[in-house]
Chain A
Amino acid sequence: MVQVLRADKFYTRSWAFNERSIKVKNTLIIIVTAFALSGCAGLTQMQDTVTKFDQGAHSVSTAQMSLFHQVQAAECNRNFYEKAFDFSQGQQIPFDLMEPCTNKELTDDQLAIRQKLMDTITLYADAIQTLANGTDDTNLSTNSKSVASNIQNLAKQQGFTAVTSTDTSALNAAVVAITSMILDHTKYKEIKEAASAVQQELTTVVAELKNENTNDIIGLESKKTAFSNQLKAAVLKSRETRGVASFLDVVEAHNFIPSIFPSPQNADQLNKALDALVAANQALANAKNGGAIPEISDLISRAQQAVTLFNSSK
């Protein structure tokens, strides 16, 4: 009997222990699940944020390349209309309406180098994106790695030239640092760590792009002025010969100028988009669970506006 009683007690205690154990296990499962779910939500938000950062960087790149091409086109237009003006005055010069253009102020080689500077930024954004994607997609494509490697080699040979020559070595060092991060991005465990590592270098590259844009716009304004001088001479002649009918020529001349020279406001907008890119990266460097949304939204908005401006002025 005693043995039975003891056995009962034993079973009772054992059952109670098992019940407590199950309760503890269930509680642990709930806690672990809750943590896992919150982690998943944070990762998803960060992935979304970084995807938008990548899109913003690519949009800025598109707008930047549009400006470069418009700068080249403006130089070609200027050269053509200069000859056309001489021709219209009766000068005996060779004048070909379909003359091919060779750029001197922004040559194709220089444009290719500027493209590489922009590629440095987009490849960096792509590398950050692959980090955010986690284990499924941690590596950049072979092509992207090859491009990054070529850019790095160019920078190591001081192939990038700053507007101010004293800034050239810092610019090349910045490109080397960013491309190193791109080629070796998997060593970073977190987005914020990777973003923080290149913030200073990204600022240097963006500052140089902005300097080039400002310089280009000064050059474009100079060409626009030269062109408007010739139109002024033409409308004066038109007034002398046609009287009030020359008003129609004035209207046409006035409307024609912006169609061949991009507005300085476009470059201003582009420079603001570049600033937004740096601010967005800074926000990523400080972000927790994707908390860089205001800066990323600003980047997307400014970059899209810049792209729209350049598309509308084509």
Chain B
Amino acid sequence: MPTPSQQINLASAIDNIRAAENLLKQQINAANDSLTAIKLSNEFNNLDSFLSELLHAQNSADDASFTNATTALKSHASGLQADEATIKGIVDDVNIAANIISYITQALAFIAKL
């Protein structure tokens, strides 16, 4: 079961991933060609899978399942770093891309504290 400080780190990581998702969603809504929308949707799904793992960790009812959940989160962190680079290549607006990446970077920092 997560300790109070781990709960705070998890909640902060969740908030940051959700903020990144919101920006990606805006980009998908604005997309006018299917290829861009598909690429952005795939990135959104990667973030959402990670979000599911965060929620799973948050809901852990015992220490063993929490340990398993955080181990899985940390092992998938490198995948999230790869997504940062991909998003930079898809999103045309440099500022929005930087904001999305900033949110993901912050989420990774909170996960590293778990």
Contact A233 B25 (CB under 8 A): no
Contact B56 A166 (CB under 8 A): no
Binary contact track B51-75/A, C-beta < 8 Å → 1, others 0: 1100110010100000000000000
Scoring A109, A110, A165 by chain B CB atoms within 10 A of each residue's CB, the highest score goes to A165
Binary contact track B8-51/A, C-beta < 8 Å → 1, others 0: 00000000001001000100110111100110110011001001
The majority secondary structure among interface residues of chain A is helix
Contact B37 A233 (CB under 8 A): yes
Contact B33 A165 (CB under 8 A): no
CB distance from A163 to the nearest CB of B (A): 8
Q: Is A232 an interface residue when CB atoms closer than 8 A count as contact?
A: yes
Contact A105 B31 (CB under 8 A): no
Decide yes or no: A165 and B2 within 8 Å by CB, A105-B56, A113-B61 being known contacts.
yes
Contact B59 A161 (CB under 8 A): yes
Q: Is A6 an interface residue when CB atoms closer than 8 A count as contact?
A: no
The majority secondary structure among interface residues of chain B is helix
Closest to B55 in A: A105
Contact pick for B45, options A82, A106, A113, CB 8 Å: A82
Contact B44 A229 (CB under 8 A): yes
Contact A164 B34 (CB under 8 A): no
Cα A223 to Cα B18 in complex, Å, equals 12
Q: Please indicate the chain B residues that have their CB under 8 angstroms from the CB of A237 in the complex.
A: 34, 38
Q: Please indicate the chain A residues that have their CB under 8 angstroms from the CB of B51 in the complex.
A: 222
Cα A159 to Cα B62 in complex, Å, equals 9
Contact A164 B7 (CB under 8 A): yes
* B binding-site residues for A, Cβ under 8 Å: 1-4, 7, 18, 21, 25, 28-29, 31-34, 37-38, 40-41, 44-45, 48, 51-52, 55-56, 59, 61
Which 9 residue pairs are nearest across A and B when measured between Cβ atoms? Answer: A233-B37, A237-B34, A236-B34, A229-B41, A233-B38, A226-B48, A229-B28, A161-B61, A165-B7
